[in-house]
Amino acid sequence: MSEPSKLVIATRASRLALWQAEHVQARLQALYPSCEVSLLKMTTRGDQILDRTLSKVGGKGLFVKELETALLDGRADLAVHSLKDVPVDLQSPFSLPVIMQRDDPRDAFVSPGYASLAELPDGAIVGTSSLRRESQIRAQYPQLRVKPLRGNLDTRLGKLDRGEYDAIILAAAGLRRLGLGERIRSLLGPDISLPAAGQGALGIEILESRTELAQWLKPLECADTASCARAERAVSRVLGGSCQVPLAAYAQVEGDSLRVDALVAEPDGSRIIRSHRTGSVAQARELGEDAARELLANGARDILARLLPPTT
């Protein structure tokens, strides 16, 4: 197979997105030393709208549309995304041929004055941009106040440091990638805050017609992470994955088996429906679909019907 001579990576211009794109850039340059790998830095609608929560402005797909346009018009060959930002119903002409090795998928508790959620006093303000996190925190710590928190990682940390919040919840992977691991006071296990589908993993998007490019990228794939992601994204797909619904899905490879945990919740945390499935890694997608169907059968259908707009 021939090797690429030039590749352009489309990326958001935020510091974390650039770290992720530069990580892929370095991996590709190590694989193909004679290839010129460059970055196309872009600002997306999701980066521009900071005064409303994602659930009110169109969801996480706002972070990928401009990058997809760059793929379509030939300005870029591939786009690097946080996998949790990639819509689970990715449509032709796009494909997601590579899911890279996952970093820590857990949520992180960040606070200048407290070591954990349990230490926060009654009425303390916790910031998060995620209905998934909010519902789980409200369920277990109803004495806390949860307020919306938007902006890139540095913006969110700045709001915390100015005293607008007593604590904030962020993805551990993002903090560690930017060398901010020391800001993590504690990590929230899946029993406290079940992660979002794909959290901690990077996905590479291309045009599905670029079959040779898919082969060039294949060495970046992590088989275990890809299996987990297939299961998690299947949960979201069956449930109509949306920022308007608090839902979580987390899979773990255990030997030859895969365990999938999933939940759907009321935004106020008054009700959380959980399911889990264990089976063969080869059946990752089916396990995720089964976990989602169990949620629907146990009451998630009612929550979804109330929170999601009717389809036309």
Q: Give CA 162 to chain center in angstroms.
A: 27
- Cα diameter, the chain: 62
Neighbours of 64 (CB within 10 A): 25
Q: Is 85 a catalytic residue?
A: yes
The DSSP bridge partners found for residue 6 are 36
**Closest to 86 (Cα-Cα) out of 8, 173, 203, 196:** 203
Q: What does the CA dihedral 264, 267, 270, 275 come to, rounded to 10 degrees?
A: 10
Sign of CA dihedral 167, 168, 172, 175: negative
In angstroms, the first-to-last Cα distance of the chain is 46
CB 231 within 8 A of CB 292: no
CB 150 within 8 A of CB 45: no
Q: How many helices (H) and strands (E) does the chain have?
A: 11, 13
| Residues with Cβ within 8 Å of residue 26, at least 6 apart in sequence | none
CB 116 within 8 A of CB 269: no
Question: Both tokens of residue 237?
Answer: 């797909």
**Strand order across the beta sheet in which 167-171 lies:** 145-148, 125-128, 167-171, 107-110, 184-188
Element (H, E) at 148: strand 145-148
Which position among 51, 77, 85, 104 bears the catalytic label? 85
* Residues forming the active site: 85
